[in-house]
Amino acid sequence: MNPQKRFKIFEALSNVTPNPTTELIYQNPFQLLIAVILSAQATDKSVNKATFLLFNKAPNAEKLSQMKLSAIESFIKTIGLYKTKAKNILETAKIIHTQYKGIVPKERIFLEALPGVGRKTANVILNTIFNEPAIAVDTHIFRIANRINLAPGETVLQVEKKLMKSTPEVFLKNAHHLLILHGRYICTARKPKCAQCVIYDLCEYKKKSLV
């Protein structure tokens, strides 16, 4: 895909959603960190339901670090892999509280050292909280990047590197959320809503479908 087409794609997506952001509900950076950890293999909707009660009980790292593991499990038991996630967010809360005085670190190396935090989660925090040009490649972005030939790759990391290199700089900060929202609501895994797509004329998926 040529640079001009990439620019037009992100321009069109930006016109539809000028201020894209996460659909996870949070009140502070620590809450978003916990929500993103919980969101692995889970929908934002299911995470928001669980964290609504959890964050009322423990709105910050200090409060969450003082909770019993069984209590945390009871709040998030509707989420997949909740036992493992409960252990991770409890340990992460303890580290944030004791080592970082309740403040989420802004350096990737420290973020990825936290239990339950991998590259994708770190990218979400760096982008959403610290406004860094980072792209967290989830299932939606991976699908779109390959489907429309925006940044094809066999692995998540390959797609991320291609997107970081090829996305026009003016759109780089918002690219993550623009692509996720487009994939979640329009360019869906099954039966993509091509008739509603603002980038239909620029999409290379329909060309591949005709081959």
Q: Which residues are catalytic, by number? A: 120, 138
Q: Which of 82, 92, 84 is nearest to 113 (CA)?
A: 92
User: What is the Cα–Cα distance from 190 to 64, expressed in whole angstroms?
Assistant: 38
Burial 7-43 (b: 16+ CB within 10 A, else e): eebbebbbeeeeebebebebeebbbbbbbbbbbbebe
CA distances from 34 to 6, 28, 123, 154, 179 (A): 33, 10, 14, 29, 22
Angle at Cα 96 formed by Cα 93 and Cα 101, nearest 5°? 130
Task: Quote the Cα angle for 110-176-182, to 5°.
Answer: 150
Q: How far is CA 113 from CA 3, 118, 163, in A?
A: 36, 8, 25
d(Cα 205, Cα 106) in Å, to the nearest integer? 37
